[in-house]
Every structure is written in C-alpha cells, then in structure tokens.
Amino acid sequence: MATATRRATVYLDSELHKALKLKAVETSRSVSDLVNDAIREALAEDAEDIAAFKERSGERLLSYDEMVKRLKRDGRI
C-alpha cells in the first residue's frame, strides 16, 4: 500500500549530506527513503520512552541525596 508523500525542504550539514548520499548509493536506496526511515526510528524511540514514563509514573521519586546515600550504602561508590 502506497502512502501519500509531501515535499519538504530540510537543511543538512554538508558533511551529513555527503554521508547520506554515499549511503544511498551504497545501499541502492534514495536519500528520501533513508531520511524517512531515520525519522520513523526516532519517533518509535520517542513512543517507547513515553510508554516507559507512563508505566513508571506511579513510582516514588528519589532525590539526588537519597540516590547517593543508596549507592554508598550498597558499596557502589
């Protein structure tokens, strides 16, 4: 199933653009495909992080001082 596409102008660092073009040639893929995949991966990671935060939202927060004391008590520092 084909998805609708939109054209966008993105300004890339020249070295990143060069690397991206080389990767496109080496992998026989378009620059657009590589960029779309990278964005999908980044958004998927964000979704995982959000889910993890929601899952742990009920946990008690530790202060920095409490964490240092715990690490010292457990012999980690």
Task: Delimit the domains of the chain by residue range.
Answer: 33-77
Judge contact between 19 and 35, C-beta under 8 A. Answer: no
Write out the chain's pLDDT in tens, 77 residues.
Answer: 568 999 999 999 999 999 999 999 999 999 999 999 999 999 999 999 999 999 999 999 999 999 999 999 999 99
Nearest C-alpha neighbor of 33 from the set 46, 16, 48, 20: 20
Whether the full predicted model's pTM is greater than 0.85, yes or no, is: no
